[in-house]
Amino acid sequence: CAPPDIVVWPQAVGQVQELAALCHRCRVPMVPFGTGTGLEGGVNAVQGGVCFDLSRMDAIAELSLEDFSVTVEPGVTRKALNKHLRGTGLWFPVGTVGMRGV
């Protein structure tokens, strides 16, 4: 495990954009972190850098029952999404791909 040099907790898309632009200008690696449910080790900061902890960006932006799609921020968990979907007849099962973030 290689920890990042710093962790930031942006709470809006604009903050992510500003931080990403700063990292890009300074050539500092960026490591995104959503909800921590991934098993692939993508949060490993092998070259240090800034970890963008996006767990506080947990809004559900749009739900379309007609085409079974939902637009979420990266910190939305499956459990929170299913709570939001309760009463619609829909649910988001484990192992589903295609969650579209904002």
- Reading the chain (102 residues) residue by residue, the pLDDT tens digits are 788 999 999 999 999 999 999 999 999 999 888 877 666 656 788 888 999 999 999 999 999 999 989 999 989 988 999 999 999 988 888 765 555 554
pLDDT, position 102: 47
Q: Is 34 helix (H, G, I), strand (E, B) or coil?
A: coil
pLDDT, position 2: 84
What CA–CA distance (Å, rounded) separates 61 from 76? 10
- Taking the CA atoms of 21, 24, 26 and 28 in sequence, report the sign of the dihedral they define: positive
pLDDT, position 63: 93
Q: Where in the chain is the domain with CATH 3.30.43.10?
A: 6-53
6-53: what CATH class? alpha beta
